[in-house]
């Protein structure tokens, strides 16, 4: 199993605090030592930092935690291998282009039956069930719409339906970003928090770090953070229900859809 981390905001925000909470689970406070990745959107484009080595010891992870990159949308993942070798090609998040924008995907769980599903124009580079599912999901979107849907809710519903379909193949907790939204599906374990004014002080569970968000934010800031399990000790996280798809936009939970087949 793995750990997911997503952030979606209404003002560019750095993810260092949350990422530090996560990365120590990559080989120090947790067993997720088979690589990690972190994707940052800038408009329709994303850049993904990937490392097949443990996040807790990775020089690149330390670099990112020391060099804040502000973004409206980020997706991170630390991996504990269940399917597929420890290789760059098997390191989440995965990225593809569809409709002239990047799509970024990270998965927690296993989908033992997903390889029965035939693929179309998107093909896995590595050998994970996760990347196969991502390719299937994107092909499902591509074949449903001629371009990026004008009505966002059409897209949300299509992703919820595809999430439910793929959820039949195993355990399908995922994060998906398209540069506009963060989609987060809960199969077994996922939680979120919306940080907004009045901001307080948060204490990481996995690191001896506290941050006073009121010192680094303005009253209008809204930051949604999604994670496999709560990252902080003194905040109230909303726990996902199996088969729920959350849609975040502008740092708000815009919709909660049923994502069951």
First to last CA, the chain: 23
64: left (phi over 0), alpha (psi -120 to 50) or beta: alpha
Query: In terms of CB distance, is 40 or 199 closer to its own copies?
Result: 40
Q: Where are the beta strands (DSSP E) in the chain?
A: 3-14, 36-42, 45-51, 70-78, 94-98, 101-108, 173-177, 182-186, 191-196, 201-203, 210-212, 222-227, 238-239, 244-249, 252-258
Half-sphere exposure of 2 (CA within 13 A, CB side): 32
Q: Are strands 191-196 and 210-212 parallel, antiparallel or unpaired?
A: unpaired
> Could you give the CA distance from residue 128 to residue 132 in angstroms, rounded to a whole number?
7
> Could you give the CA distance from residue 101 to residue 240 in angstroms, rounded to a whole number?
28
Rounded (5°) CA angle 98-132-71? 50
Query: In terms of CB distance, is 100 or 219 closer to its own copies?
Result: 100
Q: Cβ of residue 61: shortest distance to its own copies, in angstroms?
A: 11
Q: Cβ of residue 125: shortest distance to its own copies, in angstroms?
A: 5
Supply the DSSP symbol for 199.
P
186 tagged catalytic? no
Set 2, 9, 135, 191: catalytic member = 2
Q: Cβ of residue 67: shortest distance to its own copies, in angstroms?
A: 5
Positions touching its own copies (CB under 8 A) are 42-50, 52, 59-60, 63, 67, 87-89, 96-97, 99-102, 121-126
Q: Cβ of residue 134: shortest distance to its own copies, in angstroms?
A: 11
Query: In terms of CB distance, is 9 or 50 closer to its own copies?
Result: 50
Query: In terms of CB distance, is 177 or 230 closer to its own copies?
Result: 177
Supply the DSSP symbol for 215.
G
Residue pair 226/188 in contact (Cβ under 8 Å)? The answer is no
Query: In terms of CB distance, is 52 or 152 closer to its own copies?
Result: 52
Q: Cβ of residue 69: shortest distance to its own copies, in angstroms?
A: 9
Instruction: Show which residues are catalytic.
Output: 2
């Amino acid at each position: 199993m793995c750990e997911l981390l997503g952030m979606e905001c209404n003002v560019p925000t750095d993810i260092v605090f949350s990422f530090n909470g996560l990365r120590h689970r990559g080989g120090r406070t947790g067993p997720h030592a088979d690589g990690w990745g972190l994707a940052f959107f800038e408009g329709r484009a994303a850049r993904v930092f990937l490392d097949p080595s443990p996040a807790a010891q990775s020089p690149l992870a330390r670099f990112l935690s020391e060099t804040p990159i502000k973004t409206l949308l980020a997706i991170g993942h630390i991996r504990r291998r269940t399917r597929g070798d420890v290789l760059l090609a098997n390191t989440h998040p995965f990225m593809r282009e569809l409709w002239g924008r990047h799509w970024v995907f990270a998965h927690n769980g296993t989908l033992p039956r997903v390889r029965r599903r035939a693929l179309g124009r998107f093909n896995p580079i590595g050998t994970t069930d996760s990347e196969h599912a991502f390719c299937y999901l994107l092909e499902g979107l591509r074949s449903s719409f001629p371009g990026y849907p004008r009505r966002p809710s059409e897209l949300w519903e299509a992703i919820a339906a595809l999430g439910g379909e793929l959820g039949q193949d195993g355990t399908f907790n995922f994060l998906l970003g398209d540069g506009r939204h963060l989609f987060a599906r809960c199969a077994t374990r996922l939680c979120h928090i919306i940080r907004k004014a009045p901001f307080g002080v948060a204490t990481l569970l996995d690191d001896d770090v506290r941050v006073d968000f009121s010192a680094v934010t303005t009253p209008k800031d809204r930051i949604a953070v999604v994670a496999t399990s709560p990252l902080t000790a003194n905040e109230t996280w909303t726990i996902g229900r199996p088969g729920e798809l959350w849609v975040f936009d502008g740092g708000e939970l815009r919709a909660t859809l049923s994502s069951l087949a």
